[in-house]
Chain A
């Protein structure tokens, strides 16, 4: 198998799997229980939190475990809206966002908030000037993702808090870092991020755990209530196997910069190769996160390319367009033609992807073109 859909999910690393196994077979207690079995689990939970806080250069009490990236996003947005609803009625986000963000802004709009959607340019980036024009004293939340999941464009996250302050706004800055976490260096406090969402299974952890960074100086309100876990922000018994495996996966990342350099090499190798093919276009901007490569193979519908590669044991994802006829907002905003969008595929790499695997993908693409294109 050549697995190149790492933005959808990754293969769990050995250490994560082993940790999860131990947390299910030996250390299976409920961290809220007061006996030794619960206490042992609690120690593991604290340790996992320490791993995350060290990795993010923040305090332990700024890390909240969630069951998924989606719940982290939902908690951040709804929690801000609840906590600051009396301070203002304007919220700002971008058209690049994941549905777990966008759909929440649609709900806020129904609740009477003014929602501003920033459009990406041809490089998949929002304009900081437009953001600055939109932010005002009535703004309570700005949500901008770090790396887009379709094309890999990277936003200028470090400038955003400054813009908010310059416009005399007390808005919180939420950053959906699900695709970026572990792949570029992200120290939320240093970057001026108030809330940051992460997910374990995108970095070789297992499904069922995510995290939300919440800056110490801000306050959001919970939307999931119950037993008061995670300081009352996200109730529900902690998914210990997934959370502890998450920490193992973080430990297993190694050097973010070294990984990035390796992946860039593999990306460049592949992009060079396909640049010789007629009517094959790179949709990802030059300065995108190298882990994500979005290309269009004109004349081969996304789904056909995907099926064909799949039958050869190669996993990629359809660029975005769902077959119902709704074309990706992101690619449309970036100026990709309808033909290009209908034939877009997303190839997403992991730190372990090799040039040899990209060769197999290249061959698969060429074979499919020869068979399908007329």
Chain B
């Protein structure tokens, strides 16, 4: 008798012949995340995956917390795996589910017998277990239409499973089923959320951060590491490219009109990000921009930054309000890190009156004062690589 976790795949059921591959990737992702906690066995059964701990010391609370962050899982439930013996089931079902049942008013038992040799039929299993629960918790009422707690008793080939309500999973698609993209990460609230949202659709991430020492501190780079570490709990490992950006910022400051500073800087970031992405076989860029949030995120401004790249640019936050973004960042535990007060390269040299309706031609003209190609090459040479894993 031991506690296991039953995982219900998300949209995988829809994906026809690819399903098996997707399922394998999902299991690989789960394995990576929970391997440090002990040895597990994985069993694929119909559209569920059973995660079975092979050692007694394994803390199933931590296992289920980690599994709750793995993309591609629609729902999961903790279940008690017991012998296929009705006495054992009747004794253990009320005990195992006591926490849930104690605080509920209504319940229902669903017996599922896939092993047809089991002496009791599904409805008989339901009735007997229902009786046992009622005598243990006399305050409960049976409600077959809309129960607060749905108790499921499954009789399978080797074991029987007792489980209560399912927990909603992280949703989305298993990481690695949608290819690779590069997130431009600053250290603010938005970019980690954008990274999370795109990872949710199955993308493997690498990240590009622009550092401008001495204007930015080593602490702000550390902050980016910490943010990505949080995101990696969902997305899996992230390769971070930290680009030395000081020279470019100083050149723009010295040679271009002040009100264009941010936009020209953004254009450099996009160009550099695309070069790094191409080398890494990333197929798209991701940013945390939200329409109109700041001067560089107006429609005109976004058109100006997009003009320098040819890859698709994903902006999953484009239609979200700050409040909505913050809500997600709190949920994925990046908010508290994001608000640590270290300067990032977007906030140094900020012009007093940035242009909100820039024209591409004006920017292109201003950039003529710079040796764009040489600056980009030097910045890319001045890049460090770090692997971020949870």
Contacts and interface: CB of A to CB of B under 8 A. Distances in A.
Interface of A: 301, 303-304, 306-311, 322-324, 368, 371-372, 374
B253 A374 contact: yes
Contact of A307 (B215, B250, B253, B341): B215
B348 A322 contact: no
B216 interface: yes
Contacts, number: 33
B213 interface: yes
B226 interface: no
A304 B341 contact: no
Contact of B214 (A304, A322, A323, A324): A304
B187 to A, nearest CB: 12
Interface string B325-362: 00000000000000001110000100000000000000
A374 B263 CA distance: 20
A323 B223 CA distance: 15
Nearest to B215: A304
Interface in B174-225: 213-218
A311 B343 contact: no
A304 B215 CA distance: 5
B214 A368 contact: yes
A304 B342 contact: no
A324 B343 CA distance: 10
A108 B284 CA distance: 57
Given A304-B348, A374-B253, A324 B341 contact: yes
Contacts of A308: 214
Contact of A322 (B216, B254, B341, B343): B341
Interface residues of B, number: 13
Contact of A323 (B213, B215, B250, B343): B343
A311 B341 contact: no
B216 A307 contact: yes
Contacts of B341: 322-324
A303 B253 contact: no
Given A323-B341, A323-B342, A324-B341, A306 B253 contact: no
A309 B216 CA distance: 12
A338 to B, nearest CB: 16
9 contacts: A304-B343, A307-B213, A307-B216, A309-B214, A310-B214, A310-B217, A323-B341, A323-B342, A371-B250
A323 B215 CA distance: 13
Given A368-B214, A372-B214, 18 more contacts: A301-B343, A303-B343, A304-B215, A304-B348, A307-B214, A307-B215, A307-B216, A309-B214, A310-B214, A310-B217, A310-B218, A311-B213, A311-B214, A322-B341, A323-B341, A372-B215, A374-B253, A374-B254
Contacts of A306: 217
A374 B253 CA distance: 9
A203 B216 CA distance: 32
Contacts of A301: 343
Contacts of B254: 374
Interface string B231-274: 00000000000000000001001100000000000000000000
Contacts of B216: 307
Contacts of A371: 250
A72 to B, nearest CB: 29
Contacts of B343: 301, 303-304, 323
Contacts of B342: 303, 323
A307 B246 CA distance: 13
A308 B213 CA distance: 7
Of the listed residues A306, A307, A322, A368, the one surrounded by the most CB atoms of chain B closer than 10 A to its CB is: A307
Contacts of A322: 341
B350 to A, nearest CB: 12
